[in-house]
Amino acid sequence: MSAAALDLQSFYPPDFKILGVEETNQEIIIHMHSVSQECSCYKCGSPLIKHHGSHHRNVQDLPILGKRVKLDLQIFDYECTNPTCDPHAVTETFDGFLTYNSRMTERLEEFICILAIETSCEACARILKSMNVKISGDTVIRLLSKRYLSQPKPACGSTIGIDDFAYKKRHSYGTIIVDEKTHDPVAVLDGRDGESLKEWLRQNQHVTTVTRDRASAYAKAVEEVLPDCMQVADRFHLHQNLMDAVNKVLGRTVPATTAVPCETEPIKNKELSTSPMDEGKKNRIYCG
């Protein structure tokens, strides 16, 4: 395939038509306009076909050969004519490519979030700037927060595991709750004093079994909110409880100091030879 045969239109949704392309030393500007004929109202869900107007929007896309890609989009606004819905204008959205009022394509946002999770927000911003993507560390944080809020709430089964972890060792701690069947985290709570755990348990009354460590705060929280819930020590603390019990039993039955008797008489070795002539011979059979 030759370079001239590359069709940019294949990289964009069929609802957009490319009008022209401009290229500078730093960026590539692609002019496009929408060719869709309808959209849906975000309030009532009714299909909309009446155009209210149009507007231009500048959107960043993934860079091409180290150059920033800016999309100059002409997008339609539709008018909701449903009598049961408040009169308002609706800007069309393009699912999987561009969301409402977004300044980046969804594929660029996905790339930014993956890079930020693997590195950090500030490191991600520096790497993207070297790729000619215009972004700041605060924008990366906002994208991650938006992506987190859009995630579906994880389902929680009847058997959970509870443990603490350190945000900063000896300074601040948190509590993590894991579904024991799927091994997926379902909640991360602030603190390890049990107060946040009580609030979470009140919202999840279906829990019947809890595995935990030996922390008394967790035990009291579970017993107070879910008195019929079975509490089980995890494997590590089960072994630790067993060793503590064994040490207590041994401490009561075995004295702290035990006297070891020693031999008073030296062990007598049998004499290998009774003749003084054989003392200097290595082999008394073959030596003459």
Task: Give dist(CA 224, CA 76) in Å, integer.
Answer: 57
What average pLDDT does the segment 269-282 reach? 55
Task: Give dist(CA 95, CA 92) in Å, integer.
Answer: 10
The token pair at 172 is: 């601040």
Task: Give dist(CA 180, CA 119) in Å, integer.
Answer: 29
Instruction: Provide the CA 114 distance to its chain's centre, in angstroms.
Output: 11
**Which residues 6+ apart lie within 8 Å of 41 measured at CB?**
48, 78, 80, 82, 85, 90
Per-domain boundaries in the chain: 11-102, 104-151, 159-237
- For domain 159-237, give its CATH number from 3.40.50.300, 3.40.640.10, 3.30.420.10, 3.40.50.2300: 3.30.420.10
Query: Taking the chain, what is the end-to-end CA distance rounded to the nearest angstrom?
Result: 100
The residue among 112, 36, 147, 19 whose CA lies nearest residue 71 is 19
Q: Which contiguous run of DSSP H or E holds residue 14?
A: none
DSSP notation for 179-242:
ETTT--EEEEEE-SSSHHHHHHHHT-TT--EEEE-S-HHHHHHHHHH-TT-EEEE-HHHHHHHH
The residue among 155, 161, 164 whose CA lies nearest residue 189 is 164
For 1-25, the pLDDT digits (tens) are 444 567 888 888 888 899 999 998 8
pTM: 0.61
Task: Please give the DSSP secondary-structure letter assigned to residue 131.
Answer: T
Residue 35 — pLDDT band, cuts 50, 70, 90? confident
In the predicted structure, residue 99 carries a pLDDT above the cut 90: no
Task: Give dist(CA 210, CA 175) in Å, integer.
Answer: 14
For 164-179, the pLDDT digits (tens) are 889 888 888 899 999 9
8 Å CB contact between 40 and 71: no
What average pLDDT does the segment 78-90 reach? 79
